Each structure stands twice: as structure tokens, then as C-alpha cells.
Amino acid sequence: MTTTCRRPPDALGRVDANHVLRVAAVRSSLPPDAAAEGITPVARVLISRFANDLDARVRVQIEPSQRAVRASVEAGTADLGLVRQRPGASIAGMHRTQAVGASRLVAVVGRGDDHPDELSDLSGRLVLSGESGLGDWLRKRHPRLEFRVEPDKTTSQIVTAVAHGTDEATLITRTRFRRYRRYFPQLHQAFRFSGARYKNYWLFNGHMGGDSAALYHKAVAFIARHEKSGQYKRLKARYEARGADLDYVGIRAFAEYFGSRLPEWQSDFEKAARHYGIDWRLLAAISYQESRWRQHAVSSTGVRGLMMLTSSTAKAVGVKDRRDPQQSIDGGAIYYKKMAQRLPVSIAPPDRKWFALAAYNVGFGHVMDARRLLKRRGQDPDLWVNLKQALLMLTKERYARHARNGQAKGKQAVAYVAHVRAYYDMLRWETRHSGGSSSQPWGEMAIASAQDNSASGATDPVAPIRSPMF
């Protein structure tokens, strides 16, 4: 009897044969980025581009922890894993690519009179999540520092405890702090921690040799191309720009009005959204920026109503009574949709939303002037990250004198879009799991939902990057 021993196909061979790239990742608990497919937009797009180069589609395997991600890669049930590590840390038996983005750490405390200035001030008060991996690093470099590690708690749970005063302080990335603070305005950044940064890596089975490591080498080359060409930098600017850093008072006011004012008008926003094909939460975010959801709001220039329409705009969109809530919301929806429809088809989502918002605020002509300015300068006129710089340039006479519509209130438009984006993000997260309302205090639902999702272990395919037109 003769037997033939066949080596199992290497990772690249499996991808080529099945046209599927299997990616293991921990579900993002960073509101509002924990989307259906579980990973952040930048990671999602980058992985999809890599898969396209391999003529494959992506299948994401959501794991409960980074340890589980590593186990999936090692067992061969995933072709690569997305992990976050401290520089210098290594994983035995694994290959990892060069870093794909980095995050700085900050010390976070509950808002109060005591504002620590350095790490030693947190001795005996610092609590860390077991998933952070910081415990061993701190013990080696700061042996006198007293802190507690909660091995079974997530970063989200620790942050919640600090916000509620159950714990005193923790270390998280600057990006997480900026996002969590929208849900817990009592959080305070005590200081930036310069001792360590987290970096993101793509992880591959290190027991591969020779040709079997081909997928790993392709990934290294792919990331290097994106870094060298500037594509990764542009990708981050496009998907991670999340609007303004709202201050404590602004966040508290939004939280209050979310519960006290929005419920009165939510059905009107939803009705308009269904009719005009626009996310009702985007309309609500515009309305909050314009009027703070006040039906009888009036400005010194005569704009009025929930959407603060001018008399000329109201006439153009068929609104007879700007004080009527449904007419005002319908009018705002029609005007926004007109702005979006007039934009060149080359402007893709999500930038298309931000272009339309800028046109809604500063006027379509100024937005087109900004695009023409970018074209003259050899820059891509279809990216919001470029357009906002051009709008700022149009506030200056030396640029405005060459524009068809003259000087623009560019700073106002950029700030407007930033704030609407921030409100839109918060509304999207707070209403995603509740159907539009929540009986829990502001912020608790968002964090709890992220924790529930991260433990689900669900497997979700990553669809092509598509968004609604508006």
C-alpha cells in the first residue's frame, strides 16, 4: 500500500484557491467605529485593498481578545490577524508586518479638583485593563509605581468605572479619550504619557518557511507602498477626522437636549428622512447645530425655525412657514439633497456628505471655488481633507480675488462641518441599538453595547466600501 503525504497549502495558496482572505480581529469598542463588520474604517479599507490585490474578498472573524486573534492565526483558521502592541513587544512563533499606525497614551481621570501632572502622582490610584498589556511594561520601567491590573475587564469597562468614580485613573490612547469623552464629559485628560505608544500590526503565522511566507511578504510590500505613496496618510485623514473636540459644556448640553428636546421632533426627522432618502440622524445633527432643536429659534439675521432657513432658501425649497417644524425639516432636507446632487459624481462617500454640508452652510459657489483652487494647485479636489484647507484659503484676499464668488467664510464652514459631524457621530451611536431613545444615562448604552458586541464572537464578512449617496 502506498500513501502520499501532501503538505497543506500555504496561506497564499489558500487565498488563491478560495478567493477569500480570512482576517481575525477584536471588535472595535471605540464608539462609533464599532460598525457591523467590527473593525475601524481605516483598517477595513486597507484590508479590502489588500484583498483586492489578491483577487479575493475579505471575511472577518471577530474574536473576544487579542490572544484569541493570535490563536486563530497560529491554528490556521485565519490568514492574518489585526493586533495592537507596544513597540518592542514580540510574539513567539509569529511574523508581524511593520506598524500600521500608532496611538499615543494619555492619563485619564474623572473630572475633579485633583489634576495629576505625572505618572508618579497616580501611584496607588492607577487601574489598567488586562487587554492593554501595559502591566508588565510598567513594572519593568517604573518599579515603584503602584497600580492594579484587572485581567478580566475591557478598556471600556475601566473607562466607565473612572467616569463614574469607581476607579480613579487609567491609561488609554488619545484617540479613545477623545471619543469616550463625548459620552462621558466628566472624563479629564490629566497629562500625556510619553513613555509608550501602541502600534497596530498585521500578524502572520511565524512557523512558515520558504514559499509559505509569501502572503506575509506581500503584506509587507503592500503596506510599504501605501506608506511611501502617502495613501495611508490620506486614508487616515479621510476616515479618522471626526470633527471638533467638543468641550465639556457642549457635550453636557447635547446630552441634555438629546433626552429633553429631540424626542419631540424625532418622528418629523424620520418622516423627512424616509421621503428624501437621507439619514434622519444627519438631519437632526444639522438641526442641532442650527437651532439646538428649538422650534422658534430666530437669529439676528432673520433665519429661523428648527433648520434656521433664510427667507430666500425657504422660498426656493417651497417652505411657506419656517416656524412649522415639519416644513422646516423638509426644507432643510430638500436643500441639503440639492447641494449633494449638484456635486460632481467624482466625489465619493463619505466625503460627499461633508462637501454637501459645507455647501449647505457657506454656499455651493464657494465650495466649487475651493475645488477650482485645489485643481490649480495640483491637489485632489474630491477629498474633504483638501477642501477644508482650500475653504480656509478663500478667507484671504490674495486667493479670494481669483475666485468667481469672492471671499468665503471658510473658517465658519469648516467649523460647521466639524460640529455637525461630531453630533452625527454621537446620534448614530446612541440610537444604533435603542431605536432612537435610551433609558440609560448618556454614554452607558454606547459603552455597554460595544462590550456586548465585542464578546459576541460573531463572524462577519467585510462588504465593499459603499455608503449612501447622502
Phi/psi for 35 (5° steps) reads -75, 180
Strand partners, 26: 63
Do residues 28 and 62 lie in contact, with contact meaning Cβ atoms separated by under 8 Å? no
Task: Return the H-helix or E-strand segment holding 129.
Answer: strand 126-129
Do residues 50 and 253 lie in contact, with contact meaning Cβ atoms separated by under 8 Å? no
What 8-state DSSP symbol labels residue 298? Answer: B
Q: Which three cell numbers stand for residue 135?
A: 502591566
For residue 159, which of 173, 147, 170, 148 has the smallest C-alpha distance? 170
Do residues 128 and 135 lie in contact, with contact meaning Cβ atoms separated by under 8 Å? yes
Q: Which three cell numbers stand for residue 262?
A: 429631540
Residue of 63, 150, 290, 430 with catalytic role: 290
Do residues 219 and 97 lie in contact, with contact meaning Cβ atoms separated by under 8 Å? yes
Q: Which three cell numbers stand for residue 27?
A: 471588535
Helix (H, G, I), strand (E, B) or coil at 454: helix
**CA 80 – CA 77 distance, rounded (Å):** 9
User: ∠ CA 446-450-455 to the nearest 5 degrees?
Assistant: 150
User: With 0-12 CB in 10 A as exposed, 13-18 as middle and 19+ as buried, what is 284?
Assistant: buried
Q: Is 290 considered catalytic here?
A: yes
**CA 115 – CA 139 distance, rounded (Å):** 23
User: ∠ CA 131-93-60 to the nearest 5 degrees?
Assistant: 55
Show which residues are catalytic: 290
